[in-house]
């Protein structure tokens, strides 16, 4: 937000919430500027990410598909809730939900996701969680990494904001590689992307590519 108002970020989570934690810590210590995390929403009531939000004093809630008669009702509840919060940005931080098309349509280029690979590698249908790292190891790639991108109708197909490469070592297990990618890439580029967006330095050009005002060099 270049007009001096804080960016209101809502964060969607499903699990452990280490990316949420990186964001909370970065807002607190000033690496992410001009941003307020207004709400954390989980589709999973048992997500440890909710505890992290609670400890940080951030409003948090569960919107679970199990509490609705069908997917359509759940999708509308989630979409309506987010619209009512009026966020300037929705951050998917380890969110395993299929984002409802109506939600994507309501927030064009206002939803970002972190994916634990260098898109377009190991992305799209079926590539989530440890499966991404299993596939990377199976293929024998020497580098993997993480990508922050805008969310559009194509799974993992939206405009790419930031990417960071991470070495793959010969004895890596999926768990070891996952951890290295989190530590060296995800926990850095997700907060960095939010900071850039809050500074009004990210936009999607007429070709559907992100321009970051020279920010690629600051990683
Ligand atoms: C991360 O690897 C993220 O890239 C992926 O799911 C994992 C979530 O981890 N989408 P956490 O919940 O942020 O700890």
CA dihedral 101, 103, 108, 112 (to 10 degrees): -100
Where exactly are the structural domains of the chain?
Answer: 7-211
Q: Where are the beta strands (DSSP E) in 14-142?
A: 35-42, 60-62, 89-92, 111-115
Let me know if 115 is a catalytic residue.
Answer: yes
Say which residue the tokens 């290295």 belong to.
Answer: 180
Given a cut of 50, is residue 117 above it in pLDDT? yes
pLDDT, tens digit, 9 for 90 and up, residues 11-44: 999 999 999 999 999 999 999 999 999 999 999 9
Q: 129: CA distance to ligand 1 center in Å?
A: 7
As a whole number of angstroms, the distance between CA 153 and CA 106 comes to 12
**pLDDT confidence of residue 97:** 94
The finding on whether 186 has its CB within 6 A of some atom of ligand 1 is yes
Is the shortest distance between the CB of 19 and ligand 1 below 6 Å?
Answer: yes
Q: Confirm or reject: Cβ of 114 under 6 Å from ligand 1.
A: yes
Report CA(6)–ligand 1 centroid distance (Å). 25
Q: Which atom of ligand 1 is nearest to the CA of 116?
A: 4
Q: Tell whether ligand 1 has an atom less than 6 A from the beta carbon of residue 91.
A: no
User: How confident is the model at residue 212, as a pLDDT?
Assistant: 87
CB distance 12 to 90 below 8 Å: yes
CA quadruple 39, 108, 155, 26: dihedral sign: negative
Ligand 1 pocket check for 24: Cβ under 6 Å? no
Task: Match 């890439």 to its residue by tokens.
Answer: 185
> Which atom of ligand 1 lies at the shortest distance from residue 21's CA?
13
Structure letter (DSSP) for residue 141: -
Ligand 1 neighbourhood includes 15 CB (under 6 angstroms): yes
User: Which CATH superfamily does the domain covering 7-211 fall into?
Assistant: Formyl transferase, N-terminal domain (3.40.50.170)
Residue that has been written with the tokens 């679970």 in this structure: 64
Per-residue pLDDT at 215: 57
Give the Å distance between the CA of 13 and the centre of ligand 1: 9
Q: pTM to 2 decimals?
A: 0.95
**Which two three-digit tokens encode residue 214?**
């020279």
Q: To which H or E segment does residue 134 belong? A: helix 130-139
Q: What are phi and psi of 168, to 5 degrees?
A: -105, 130
Cβ-proximal residues to 102 (8 Å cutoff; 6+ apart), any chain = 75, 76, 79
The single residue of 60, 115, 133, 149 carrying the catalytic annotation is: 115
The pLDDT tens digits of the residues spanning 168-181 come to: 999 999 999 999 99
C-beta of residue 48 within 8 angstroms of C-beta of residue 13: no
* 63-109 per-position pLDDT tens digit: 999 999 999 999 999 999 999 999 999 999 999 999 999 999 999 99
| Cα separation, 38 vs 59, whole angstroms | 7
């Amino acid at each position: 937000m270049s007009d001096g108002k804080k960016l209101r970020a809502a964060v969607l989570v499903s699990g452990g919430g280490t990316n949420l934690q990186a964001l909370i810590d970065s807002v607190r210590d000033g690496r992410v500027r001009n941003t307020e995390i207004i709400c954390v929403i989980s589709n999973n009531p048992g997500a440890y990410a909710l505890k992290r939000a609670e400890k940080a004093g951030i409003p948090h809630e569960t919107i679970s598909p199990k509490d609705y008669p069908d997917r359509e009702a759940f999708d509308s509840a989630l979409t309506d809730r987010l619209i009512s919060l009026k966020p300037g940005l929705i951050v998917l931080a380890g969110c395993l939900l299929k984002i409802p098309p109506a939600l994507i349509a309501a927030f064009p280029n206002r939803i970002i996701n972190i994916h634990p690979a260098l898109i377009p590698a190991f992305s799209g249908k079926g590539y989530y969680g440890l499966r991404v790292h299993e596939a990377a190891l199976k293929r024998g790639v020497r580098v993997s990494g993480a990508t922050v991108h805008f969310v559009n109708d194509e799974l993992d197909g939206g405009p790419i904001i930031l990417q960071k490469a991470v070495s793959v070592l010969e004895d890596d297990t999926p768990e070891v590689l996952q951890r290295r990618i989190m530590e060296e890439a995800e926990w850095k580029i997700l907060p960095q992307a939010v900071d850039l967006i809050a500074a009004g330095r990210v936009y999607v050009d007429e070709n559907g590519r992100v321009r970051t005002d020279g920010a690629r060099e600051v990683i």
